[in-house]
Amino acid sequence: MNTSQILKEAEEMGIELGWIAKADLIRSIQRAEGNIDCYAKERNKEGCPWRDECLKAENEIAQIEATLRGSSFITRDLRNSACILSLIVENPAKFIKDELFLKHSFEAITDEVKRMKKLISFVKSITDQNGVRAFTRNYKREGGIKG
């Protein structure tokens, strides 16, 4: 059912429309029909007229949750890179003549550049239909992006 069909059904049942989210509107219709208002909250039973809509909503919610999980892993890796690079930027005055500091600094910068390139490549590589879920699953399994 598209939104205009849902609105028409709600109007025919005398449900006040106003400014209401699609999920809340469907739950209002479910209550008016004498059913449990379970849309996008819990799995609908076979034969429920809202089952297909509900399953679509559950899939959308799962996609959003997967995106948020994936974002948190990326944020963690970016934060770690920022910390490493900040240490290098903040300490040259003290250690500018220390060859070991310079060597380790350039190694760390090189590693971070590799890690960021790999992260960019990883994000670009997501092309399958369930890309967000696949990304989150693979990113989590690999423990983030290693240099």
* Complete DSSP assignment for 88-108: HHHSHHHHTT-HHHHHHHHHH
User: How many domains, in total, are found in the chain?
Assistant: 2
Question: How far apart (Å, rounded) are the C-alpha atoms in residues 17 and 13?
Answer: 11
Both 12 and 77 in one domain: the answer is no
Residues 51 and 85 in one domain: no
- Look at residue 147 and tell me if it is in a domain: no
In a domain, 146, yes or no: no
Give domain status of residue 61, yes or no: no
Among 21-30, 51-60, 72-81, 130-139, the range scoring the smallest mean pLDDT is 130-139
pLDDT digits (tens, 9 = 90+) for 3-54: 777 777 777 878 776 767 777 888 888 888 887 777 767 665 666 777 777 7
Same domain for 29 and 71, yes or no, is no
Range of the domain at 135: 66-141
